[in-house]
Amino acid sequence: MYIANNYVRAKSLEEAWELNQKKNNKIVAGNCWTRLGHGNIGTIISLKDLGLDKIESDKEQIKIGAMVSLREIENNKEILESFGNCVQKAVESIVGVQFRNLATVGGSVWGRFGFSDVLTVFLALGAKVELFKKGIVGIEEFIEMDYDRDVLVSIILPKKGLKASYDSVRLTKTDFPMLNCCVARNGEKMRVVIGAKPTKARFFDCDFNEESDKIVEQFVFGSNLRATEKYRKSVAKVLIERNRRAVM
Amino acid sequence: MVVSFKLNGIKREAIVEADTTLYKLLRELGCYSVKCGCETTNCGLCTVIVNNKSVLSCAVLALDVDGAEIETLEGLESEALEFGLCMADEGSEQCGFCNTGFIVNVVMMMRELDEIDRESVKKYLAGNLCRCTGYQGQLRALEKFIERKRGIKI
Ligand SMILES: Cc1cc2nc3c(=O)[nH]c(=O)nc-3n(C[C@H](O)[C@H](O)[C@H](O)COP(=O)(O)OP(=O)(O)OC[C@H]3O[C@@H](n4cnc5c(N)ncnc54)[C@H](O)[C@@H]3O)c2cc1C
Ligand code: FES
Ligand code: FES
């Protein structure tokens, strides 16, 4: 666990942003990831009092506040009705209920972790990321951006009538995924996202009938302790086919 | 910095550092049922209930629970006793180290899940690791307990 000197509950996004401009200050949300660090933090910036813990839905989109927990998106009826169970399937294997009650959507997206289940599903659903200073950017763009000192305000899921399916392979339950995949169908087109390759999730847009052999060629796989590049590539084909069948 | 909250129904106030975890604070306040296994948010041993949600106290900042209601096993005796007895009947305890966090999460599961089956039980409790791998014994205790409480076989 890190050492911190001060703790401030920001009263506005502007205040949170201002505090965050100082290099040794840090936004702490669920603290699940940050607590693994051992450095020194000047001021912990808490976003708890900013009302970012709400999920709002209208005809066009679902807006998920940065401080909404993974458990809440797992159980949210609007998300389930609009996108089926793909979001639920993406998060339900992340550690445990107690963990998902803490870990936030904002922390999960901000982290842009290579192993992320959350990024994979949001990328497939064409999510947008609302940043306090930079405004709204597509998640595709956000993933490639540097870690600057902006504040993530919300994630926006446009309701585009997509049919999506999610699957992952883990060596043991609740472990990090060895590979994850989400397929989102839009009429005769589909977006395939593969994550935990083991590097960051990437997407490929193609015809719904595109051969899975060709699709996997669009992704770069690698080896680590969990699996080899070759194995990941073989599993990727299986996950694409499973997900494609689920949205037929 | 001062933090105020309700602990097992009693109003409490404490002076904490910016980086004090809820786990550390609860131990200091005498809640020795709250234990630390991994300190990496993996094992579920440090589970407590905050505002009727089970959480890992090793990750929660004490200052984040200002104004919250916190329950530990010390305050859950009546809800926990019956399940504890089922565990004893079924020999679910081996070294017993994981029990406290596990029982707290079972209590929370019974509060939260209106519909319960074997799959939902396994999913809900997946974050409680038992290093003695006593999962079959735990499952037998759960079968017995849920049949008593809900009249259903899982
Ligand atoms: C043991 C363990 C296992 C995990 N397994 C998985 C897994 O299998 N799959 C998966 O997808 N994920 C997994 N994760 C990641 C997890 O789901 C969360 O993504 C992670 O804990 C971050 O969420 P948090 O709310 O705890 O963020 P924090 O730890 O509080 O913050 C994480 C980072 O994001 C920054 N941050 C947080 N909120 C904001 C904001 N609003 N604006 C700007 N910056 C912000 C913080 O400064 C910090 O740098 C795992 C994490 C751990 C610790
Ligand atoms: S000690 Fe908190 S999860 Fe292991
Ligand atoms: S009984 Fe030993 S850790 Fe579970």
Tens-binned pLDDT, residue by residue, of chain A (248 aa): 999 999 999 999 999 999 999 999 999 999 999 999 999 999 999 999 999 999 999 999 999 999 999 999 999 999 999 999 999 999 999 999 999 999 999 999 999 999 999 999 999 999 999 999 999 999 999 999 999 999 999 999 999 999 999 999 999 999 999 999 999 999 999 999 999 999 999 999 999 999 999 999 999 999 999 999 999 999 999 999 999 999 99
Domain boundary among the residues B74, B105, B131 is at B74
The separation between CA B34 and the C-alpha centre of its own chain, rounded to angstroms, equals 8
Ligand at shortest distance from the CA of A71: 1
Q: Is B95 found in the same domain as B61? A: no
Low-confidence ranges of chain B (pLDDT < 50): none
State the number of CA atoms in the 13 A half-sphere of A130 facing the CB.
15
Residues of B in contact with A19 (CB under 8 A): none
Q: Supply the CATH number for residue B94's domain.
A: 1.10.150.120
Q: Is B86 found in the same domain as B45? A: no
Selecting from A31, A97, A99 the residue whose C-beta is nearest the C-beta of B124 gives: A97
For residue A93, give how far its alpha carbon lies from the nearest alpha carbon of chain B (Å): 8
Residues whose CB falls within 8 Å of the CB of residue B10, separated by 6 or more in sequence, listed in order: none
Residues of A in contact with B105 (CB under 8 A): 96-98
A13 lines ligand 1 (CB under 6 A): no
Residues of A in contact with B133 (CB under 8 A): none
What CA dihedral angle connects A55, A56, A60 and A66, to 10 degrees? -50
B42 lines ligand 1 (CB under 6 A): yes
Whether the model pTM is above 0.90: yes
Number of domains in chain B: 2
Q: Is B113 found in the same domain as B56? A: no
Residues of A in contact with B70 (CB under 8 A): none
Separation of CA A196 and ligand 1 centre (Å): 15
Q: Spell out the domains of chain A, with CATH numbers in brackets.
A: 2-46 (no CATH), 55-158 (3.30.465.10), 163-246 (3.30.390.50)
A26 lines ligand 1 (CB under 6 A): yes
The answer for B 95-154 residues in CB contact with A (under 8 A) is 105, 108-109, 123-128
Domain boundary among the residues B41, B74, B107 is at B74
Comparing alpha-carbon positions, the chain B residue that sits nearest to A173 is B126
Ligand at shortest distance from the CA of A131: 1
* Residues whose beta carbon lies within 6 Å of some atom of ligand 2: B 36-39, 41-46, 56, 58
For residue A212, give how far its alpha carbon lies from the nearest alpha carbon of chain B (Å): 31
| Pick from B99, B101, B123, B97: nearest CA to B112 | B123
Residues of B in contact with A75 (CB under 8 A): none
What CA dihedral angle connects A217, A219, A223 and A224, to 10 degrees? -160
String of DSSP letters for B41-105: S-S-TTEEEETTEEEETTTSBGGGGTT-EEE-GGG-HHHHHHHHHHHHHTT--SS-TTHHHHHHH
pLDDT for the residue A131: 98
For residue B34, give how far its alpha carbon lies from the nearest alpha carbon of chain A (Å): 14
Residues of A in contact with B107 (CB under 8 A): none
A168 lines ligand 1 (CB under 6 A): no
- In this structure, the residue with its CA closest to atom 4 of ligand 3 is B130
Amino acid code (one letter) for A148: D
Q: Is B110 found in the same domain as B70? A: no
Distance CA A56, CA B27 (A): 38
Q: Is B60 found in the same domain as B13? A: yes
What's the full length of chain B, in residues? 154
- A87-91 long-range contacts (CB < 8 A, ≥24 apart) are A87/A121, A87/A125, A87/A166, A89/A165, A89/A166, A89/A167, A89/A168, A90/A117, A90/A118, A90/A120, A90/A121, A90/A166, A90/A168, A90/A180, A90/A182, A91/A117, A91/A118, A91/A121
Interchain proximity A44–B19, CB inside 8 Å:
yes
State the number of CA atoms in the 13 A half-sphere of B90 facing the CB.
19
User: What ipTM was reported for this prediction?
Assistant: 0.97
pLDDT for the residue A162: 96
Buried b (16+ CB within 10 A) or exposed e, A25-39: bbbbbbbbbbbeeee
Q: Which residue range is the domain that position B53 belongs to?
A: 2-74
Residues whose CB falls within 8 Å of the CB of residue A51, separated by 6 or more in sequence, listed in order: A65
Ligand at shortest distance from the CA of B136: 3
| Pick from A120, A154, A112: nearest CA to A137 | A154
Q: Is B101 found in the same domain as B35? A: no
Selecting from B44, B59, B108 the residue whose C-beta is nearest the C-beta of A102 gives: B59
Selecting from A3, A5, A96 the residue whose C-beta is nearest the C-beta of B128 gives: A96
Q: Is B93 found in the same domain as B136? A: yes
pLDDT for the residue A177: 98
Domain boundary among the residues B57, B74, B91 is at B74
Q: Is B56 found in the same domain as B80? A: no
The number of the ligand 3 atom at minimal distance from the alpha carbon of B131 is 3
Q: Is B122 found in the same domain as B111? A: yes
Q: Is B94 found in the same domain as B58? A: no
Q: Supply the CATH number for residue B19's domain.
A: 3.10.20.30
Tokens of A151: 């504040």
| Pick from A164, A198, A162, A163: nearest CA to A180 | A198
pLDDT for the residue B78: 85
Q: Is B106 found in the same domain as B63? A: no
pLDDT for the residue B79: 87
Q: Measured between CB atoms, does B22 come within 8 Å of chain A?
A: no
What residues are paired with A26 via a beta bridge? A44
DSSP strand pairing (A3-9 vs A40-46): parallel
Q: Is B102 found in the same domain as B67? A: no
